[in-house]
Structure 1
Amino acid sequence: MQWRKYLYLLLFIAVLTGCDKNRVFEENQDIPNNSWQIRNVPQFSFVIEDPATTYNIYFNVRNAIFYEFYNLYMRAELIGPNGKPLDVKLHEMYLMDKTTGKPLGDGAGDIFDHQFLAIKNFKFPQAGTYKVRLKQYMRRDPLPGIMAVGVRVEKVNP
């Protein structure tokens, strides 16, 4: 059963790292023991070289079928090169249909991958290194069933 988990992880990585000219950054971090603790705040750093370009920022979420809720609340902070927050929001993402309970996203077996548009048409104020911090904001600590979270930054097509 463990080999299936690794196979899904490899397929997920292969799909996300395929040829994509608009992608500026993408990274996913595994959640230890597939149980996201509130104190575990994954951080992602990326470089923006062209602040004149417009970008979309996505959140990636991988969950197991045994995740107990239909949604996931996540607090996200976008931090600028000067260390000051540029955007702080609470995002609600739907992992399952709230009426039927059917898993959403791409998946096979008992693992599902999601990509949510979090910040649309964003213009970074300057070139430099930016950070995104993600914190689970559910009423459960730890939160079982969340296997990985990530961030993707891509250029918006003109």
Structure 2
Amino acid sequence: MQVRWYFYLVFFIAALTGCDKNRIFEENQDIPNNNWQIRNAPQFSFTIEDPQASYNIYFNIRNALFYEFYNLYVRAELTGPDKKTLHVKLHEMYLMDKVTGRPLGDGSGDIFDHQFLAIKNFKFPQAGAYQLRLKQYMRKDPLPGIMAIGIRVEKIAP
């Protein structure tokens, strides 16, 4: 009897966490040695099948508590299937409170995860494969304390 309840509980939790129908892509890449070098510009490739829809693109950041700054500048460059640049922007994200230095985001011990809305309500011009490249734009190279960087692309529900 106990085993059956355990099975149902696991199935229910998996069903809740596995249902994310708006997400069309999400990937995170680890930063080697938790030191993000300027020349290391992670690139993410994803496919858009419905160019009539609007999309939100998020940045996922994982940092260690020893990260030295309260903010992070990231330059994002989005290119389309024809390799033309569609969007370039320098984003500033706050990882810690500017005044108190208290870490923001979801934390466990000395590791914190953040998700920032980077590109809102974007319409891709056509179906096909897109690339988004992220480059750290801080004054320190390498930048210690950044553990992983990623993106999430969500289709906006009508």
**Is 1:80 aligned to 2:80, yes or no?**
yes
Cα offset for 1:157? 2.0
Distance 1:18 1:129 in 2: 24
In the other structure, the counterpart of 2:22 is 22
* Structure-1-length-normalised TM-score: 0.89
In the other structure, the counterpart of 1:55 is 55
Identity over aligned pairs, percent = 82
- What is the alpha-carbon root mean square deviation over aligned residues? 1.1
Distance 2:98 2:135 in 1: 22
Cα offset for 1:19? 2.5
The structure with the largest alpha-carbon Rg is 2
Letter in structure 2 aligned against 1:31 = I
In the other structure, the counterpart of 2:141 is 141
Cα offset for 1:151? 0.6
Letter in structure 2 aligned against 1:70 = Y
Distance 1:19 1:36 in 2: 32
Distance 1:133 1:55 in 2: 17
The secondary structure found in structure 1 opposite 2:83 is: coil
- Give unpaired runs (5+ residues) of structure 1: 1-13
In the other structure, the counterpart of 2:3 is none
How many equivalent residue pairs? 143
Distance 1:149 1:133 in 2: 11
Cα offset for 1:18? 3.8
In the other structure, the counterpart of 1:114 is 114
In the other structure, the counterpart of 1:5 is none
The secondary structure found in structure 2 opposite 1:40 is: coil
Distance 2:91 2:26 in 1: 19
In the other structure, the counterpart of 2:91 is 91
Distance 1:157 1:70 in 2: 33
What do residues 43-73 of structure 1 show as CA deviations (whole Å, max 9, x unaligned)? 0000000000110000000000000000000
Write out the 4+ residue segments of structure 1 that deviate beyond 6 Å after TM superposition: none
- Give unpaired runs (5+ residues) of structure 2: 1-13
Letter in structure 2 aligned against 1:82 = D
Distance 2:102 2:19 in 1: 31
What do residues 10-59 of structure 1 show as CA deviations (whole Å, max 9, x unaligned)? xxxx9xx7431100000000000000000000000000000001100000
In the other structure, the counterpart of 1:41 is 41
